[in-house]
Amino acid sequence: MADSGTLATTAQVLLSIGQDPSTAQALEANTNIWILYAESDMEKVFGDNIGLVANHASITAALKQWLAMVAADRAAWHGINQDQNNWSLATTQSKLNVLNATWKGFLSDVKNKGPDLIADMGL
């Protein structure tokens, strides 16, 4: 099966999930769903039909990597939330906190630099 998402890959999501993913978290079909969730979350943040996914080809390489990191971390967050039984509660919470920090940084960047980010991406 090929990756279904545009902004991140299954491998990037698995790296974001970290050591010892559950069987459900390692399943490519699931990571593909979580990538699509992440892309939807990111599109909603930009609003106004910016088209991060639709216009991905026109985005600069550096910003593609930033978007990939955010999408992979957000997809991993969805995956860990869906299956929290693989680690201790402290480990699960730590992973979610780290991933949520990336998301909060993304939200802050879009809020504070939105028009400039959109212009830099050529959207």
Residue 9 region by backbone torsions, left for phi larger than 0, else alpha for psi between -120 and 50, else beta: beta
Q: What is the pLDDT of residues 86-102, one digit of tens each?
A: 888 998 999 999 999 99
- pLDDT beyond 70 at 48: no
**Across residues 77-82, what is the average pLDDT?**
93
**Across residues 20-42, what is the average pLDDT?**
92
What is the C-alpha to C-alpha distance for residues 3 and 110, in angstroms, rounded to an integer? 26
Its pTM stands at 0.91
